[in-house]
Structure 1
Amino acid sequence: MKKSIAIIGGGSSALITAAFLDPNKFNITIYEKKKSLGRKFLVAGDGGFNLSHGEAINKMITRYTPDTFLKQALLHFTNDDLRKWLLTIGIPTFVGSSNRVYPEKGIKPIEVLTKVKQFLIDKGVQLVYNYEWKGWNIKGELIFNNNEIINTDYTIFAMGGASWKITGSDGSWLETFKNKEINTLPFLPANCAYAIKWPKEFILKNEGQPLKNIALSCLDKTQKGELVTTKFGLEGNAIYALSTEIQSQLSIKKTATIYLDLKPMFSLNEVNQKINASQLRTVKDILKKALKLSPSQIDLIKTNLTKEEFTNKNILSEKIKALPFIIHSAAPLDEAISITGGISLNEVNENFELHKLKNNFCIGEMLDWNAPTGGYLLQACFSMGAYTAKYLNKKE
């Protein structure tokens, strides 16, 4: 006799879990509190639909924090495995110049979601909408909506974190798990903008300007990439990748210090030599022509240096390689691309099963892990889902 599996949530982790569960062993039902599946999946697609990243899986594993928690799941269902599976359901992909994995040109996010949804329907997965999970009753049974009780042999929770509430990912489940004495951590924004108090004149002139080919450092970590100056502060892949280090400082000191390297391809000595060797009269011309800094980058330096520092070539060289900024806060939680916090990793075993609730699993952004943007977040969700399905398929 088939056993039943309830999957709570209709996001990326939930969909891939259902896709890989054995329909000959299980009656599988996805319970989604909204009126449609994959709402966050579609929102993510608005900014450039990278489904994964194309780098070697052993390198990819190191991008996650912590870097050991997801290792087995990622090795079981790699970025290559994802691409092969997508092709079987009619979604060819390619690796772009940024090494990110995209659907072939012309394929929209809604088309990918529709193909996945049809695959699930064809294998007999039941899709139930407008069903919001409310917790457990005293017997440990699932409660939905107006005290409707659902009995199931296994439950897979895939309800997302607490960013982009409009998609249904609001983190409202956190208190329910805390009441079950499951250790949780507060949600914190990650992969988000960070607040810097710009001088009014600077931001009026430079709001929205990119800072390309730079490196950013915080504590002992350095990340190359790009930034954008905004009225709020800074955003972009370089600062997103330092979220863990920035948040650790903010939690202790209420501020964080970052250092911007405007010429990471040159050493300090090389920058100094270029500045001192230039025959140009003004510092601005030297920076523009000898170092090829953009007007926005030059304004950034002038804003943060005194006149004496700006005209001292040795100090100027040092600041070009390590220009300090004080971060005062992160963007609001709901504006973050992803979050940290949620269920402590100590609360689940290697198969993502809760120690304190047998046959209950938590996957995806509900757990306290993080990754940079660029396809890493989605890949982890896909890998966790496929890995959980593999484990359940092997159970008698």
Structure 2
Amino acid sequence: MTDALVIGGGPAGLMAAEALLAGGRAVTLVEAKPSIGRKFLMAGKSGLNLTKMQAFGPFLASYGEGLHPTMRACLKAFGPDEVKAWTEALGQTTFAGSTGRLFPHAMKASPLLRAWLARLDALGLERHTRWRWVDWESNIHHFDTPEGTRVLTPRVTVFALGGASWARLGSDGHWAPRFAANGIEVAPFQPSNVGLQVDWSEHMTGQFGQPIKSVEWHAGDLTSRGEAILSKQGLEGGGIYTLAPALRGHGATLTVDLLPDLSVEEVQKRLPETAKKGMAKLLRNTLKLPPVKIALWNEFTQGTPIPFDQLAARLKALPIHHSGLRPMDEAISTAGGVSFDALDDTLMLKDRPGTFCAGEMLDWDAPTGGYLLTACFATGLLAGRHAAGYDRP
């Protein structure tokens, strides 16, 4: 018999373990990979963006209109201010960039993870790596381990198995069919925060690697002023990632405003009264577009004459023909997972008393910019706190 079991060693699992330990439970944490927090460490390689320091209303709005009330409660209990305080309590000073994004001064995830694990170990956490969860019967859990099959029977369990992106780091979604087979509703995984596949013509080769700045992207009801990188595969970067919810659908359209700081009327005023100038000169000399924007224009107009009176409007809404989102394993995160209909407001499975779920394995979505990590922390904390207070009948 095990007291409290946490399955998954990412941010949500570690936060659940911390809450359980704080609640006086003896905690065993198991992780399928050879080390803890692999995706967390990868996320910090280019600067660990922990959260975004902004008013709670706009912060919450970034998770989309369909955010479940339980997720709202999690984020209200552990939002940007709490993330900052928690990080600094681990001895990692922080700073907010000009956009409000919060980073540790060390910028990397490794110092924070080491300090976190040291605190958890001091509180008595027992942890095992290379333990892959296989299945369960009631509250009896089966694992494949280097020593063979192991079985644990915990009083309470928190699952924090991740989504279905970055399989090499542990988030492979292999748990989902087992949950579904046990009658738990799981929404299909979909890529999020991922690049767009574009089948470029040969003339775009010279632009690969170039940033596309000072543009505005539109897809469905979503708008993004972020920049993107023109890559061999298509378009990458924050400007595109935030549009993933609108671009998942079949035939989803994407347009780019090449002159977002000017209205259609202002663009029209800058154009000559007639089309005597060649298009190349208009774009380069009159409108001062950089080469990468001109390349985009040429790629998606393909030399088709644009009526002069429609030119300004097309510059403000150039259609980007694409082949959909890049594969799920290239995504930073995924939508889909355990449906909130299968959970109560403590994140406990309704049909599995004493079993809780947290992190990216839940069916929610968020853009990059600290929102993903904050939600993982917040759901792990809520699940861990309620698991700590749960007594199996």
Task: Please state which band the TM-score falls in when normalised by the shorter chain.
Answer: over 0.9
Q: Whole-Å Cα distance in 2 between the matches of residues 58 and 34 of structure 1?
A: 37
Which residue type is aligned with residue 297 of structure 2?
Answer: I
Which residue type is aligned with residue 214 of structure 2?
Answer: N
Counterparts in 2 of 1:285 and 1:169: CA distance versus 1, 3 Å: same
Q: Whole-Å Cα distance in 2 between the matches of residues 153 and 62 of structure 1?
A: 37
What is the TM-score normalised by the length of structure 2? 0.92
Q: Whole-Å Cα distance in 2 between the matches of residues 77 and 327 of structure 1?
A: 38
Q: Whole-Å Cα distance in 2 between the matches of residues 68 and 294 of structure 1?
A: 43
- Structure 1 position 287, deviation (Å): 2.6
Q: Whole-Å Cα distance in 1 between the matches of residues 367 and 88 of structure 2?
A: 25
Which residue pairs with 2:112 in the alignment? Answer: 112
Which residue type is aligned with residue 344 of structure 2?
Answer: N
Which residue type is aligned with residue 156 of structure 1?
Answer: V
Cα RMSD after superposing both structures: 2.2
CA contact (8 A) 1:159 1:366 kept: yes
Per-residue CA deviations over 1:86-105 (Å, capped at 9, x if unaligned) read 1111011110123211111x
What is the TM-score normalised by the length of structure 1? 0.91
Q: Whole-Å Cα distance in 2 between the matches of residues 269 and 55 of structure 1?
A: 34
- Structure 1 position 107, deviation (Å): 4.9
Which residue pairs with 1:299 in the alignment? Answer: 295
Which residue pairs with 1:151 in the alignment? Answer: 153
- Structure 1 position 278, deviation (Å): 10
SS at match of 1:55: coil
Per-residue CA deviations over 1:352-383 (Å, capped at 9, x if unaligned) read 11111111111111112111111111111011
Which residue pairs with 1:313 in the alignment? Answer: 308
Matched, 1:365 2:360: yes
Which residue pairs with 1:61 in the alignment? Answer: 60
Matched, 1:268 2:283: no
Q: Whole-Å Cα distance in 1 between the matches of residues 279 and 322 of structure 2?
A: 28
Which residue pairs with 1:234 in the alignment? Answer: 235
Gaps of 5+ in 1: none
Which residue pairs with 1:186 in the alignment? Answer: 188
Counterparts in 2 of 1:258 and 1:279: CA distance versus 1, 3 Å: closer
Q: Whole-Å Cα distance in 2 between the matches of residues 24 and 382 of structure 1?
A: 17
Counterparts in 2 of 1:20 and 1:71: CA distance versus 1, 3 Å: same
Which residue pairs with 1:244 in the alignment? Answer: 245
CA contact (8 A) 1:309 1:316 kept: no
Q: Whole-Å Cα distance in 1 between the matches of residues 263 and 234 of structure 2?
A: 27
Which residue pairs with 1:29 in the alignment? Answer: 28
Of 368, 374, 377, which aligns to 2:372? 377
SS at match of 1:176: helix
Q: Whole-Å Cα distance in 2 between the matches of residues 388 and 366 of structure 1?
A: 13
Per-residue CA deviations over 1:197-251 (Å, capped at 9, x if unaligned) read 221112x12111111121111122222211111121111212211111111x22x
Gaps of 5+ in 2: none
Q: Whole-Å Cα distance in 2 between the matches of residues 68 and 272 of structure 1?
A: 45
Counterparts in 2 of 1:121 and 1:308: CA distance versus 1, 3 Å: closer
Q: Whole-Å Cα distance in 1 between the matches of residues 356 and 366 of structure 2?
A: 21
Which residue type is aligned with residue 260 of structure 1?
Answer: V
Tell me whether 139-148 or 185-194 shows the greater mean CA deviation: 139-148
Which residue type is aligned with residue 45 of structure 2?
Answer: D
CA contact (8 A) 1:309 1:315 kept: no
SS at match of 1:330: coil
Q: Whole-Å Cα distance in 2 between the matches of residues 383 and 123 of structure 1?
A: 20
Which residue pairs with 1:343 in the alignment? Answer: 338
Which residue pairs with 2:328 in the alignment? Answer: 333
Q: Whole-Å Cα distance in 2 between the matches of residues 269 and 174 of structure 1?
A: 52
Q: Whole-Å Cα distance in 1 between the matches of residues 271 and 168 of structure 2?
A: 51
CA contact (8 A) 1:54 1:79 kept: yes
Q: Whole-Å Cα distance in 2 between the matches of residues 181 and 35 of structure 1?
A: 30
SS at match of 1:326: coil
- Structure 1 position 391, deviation (Å): 2.7
Which residue type is aligned with residue 339 of structure 1?
Answer: T
Q: Whole-Å Cα distance in 1 between the matches of residues 142 and 42 of structure 2?
A: 29
SS at match of 1:256: coil
Per-residue CA deviations over 1:11-30 (Å, capped at 9, x if unaligned) read 01011122233445311111
SS at match of 1:260: strand
Counterparts in 2 of 1:179 and 1:306: CA distance versus 1, 3 Å: closer
Per-residue CA deviations over 1:266-325 (Å, capped at 9, x if unaligned) read 111111112237999444343334433211101211222254635x43322111110012
Which residue type is aligned with residue 218 of structure 1?
Answer: A
- Structure 1 position 77, deviation (Å): 0.6
Counterparts in 2 of 1:291 and 1:394: CA distance versus 1, 3 Å: farther
SS at match of 2:366: coil
Q: Whole-Å Cα distance in 2 between the matches of residues 257 and 170 of structure 1?
A: 29
Counterparts in 2 of 1:151 and 1:71: CA distance versus 1, 3 Å: same
CA contact (8 A) 2:15 2:377 kept: yes
Which residue type is aligned with residue 81 of structure 2?
Answer: D
Per-residue CA deviations over 1:325-371 (Å, capped at 9, x if unaligned) read 22213211111111112222221122211111111111111112111
| Percent pairwise identity | 33
Q: Whole-Å Cα distance in 1 between the matches of residues 304 and 195 of structure 2?
A: 31
Which residue pairs with 1:135 in the alignment? Answer: 135
